[in-house]
Amino acid sequence: MRNQILLAGIIIALFCVVRSNSAVAAEGEIVKLDKAQFKALIMDYEKNPKAWKFTGKLPVIVDFYADWCGPCRTASPILEELARKYKGKIVVYKVNTDQERELGTVFGISSIPAFLWVPPTGNPTMTSGIGRSADATREQFEKMIQDVLLKK
Residue 137 belongs to what domain range?
Answer: 25-149
| Entry pTM | 0.82
**Edge-to-edge strands, sheet with 125-128:** 31-32, 91-96, 60-65, 114-118, 125-128
Backbone angles phi, psi at 108, to 5 degrees: 65, 35
In a domain, 18, yes or no: no
In a domain, 19, yes or no: no
Catalytic residue among 25, 30, 66, 69: 69
In a domain, 68, yes or no: yes
Q: How many structural domains is the chain composed of? A: 1
Catalytic residue among 33, 72, 114, 145: 72
Neighbours of 142 (CB within 10 A): 14
pLDDT digits (tens, 9 = 90+) for 15-36: 433 333 345 556 788 999 999 9
* pLDDT classification of 8: cutoffs 50, 70, 90: very low
In a domain, 20, yes or no: no
In a domain, 7, yes or no: no
* pLDDT classification of 6: cutoffs 50, 70, 90: very low
Give percent above pLDDT 70 in the chain.
Answer: 82
72 is an active site residue: yes
Backbone angles phi, psi at 106, to 5 degrees: -55, -40
In a domain, 115, yes or no: yes
In a domain, 3, yes or no: no
16 is an active site residue: no
pLDDT digits (tens, 9 = 90+) for 56-98: 999 999 999 999 999 999 999 999 999 999 999 999 999 999 9
For the domain that residue 43 is a member of, what is the CATH number?
A: 3.40.30.10
pLDDT digits (tens, 9 = 90+) for 91-134: 999 999 999 999 999 999 999 999 999 999 999 999 999 989 99
In a domain, 11, yes or no: no
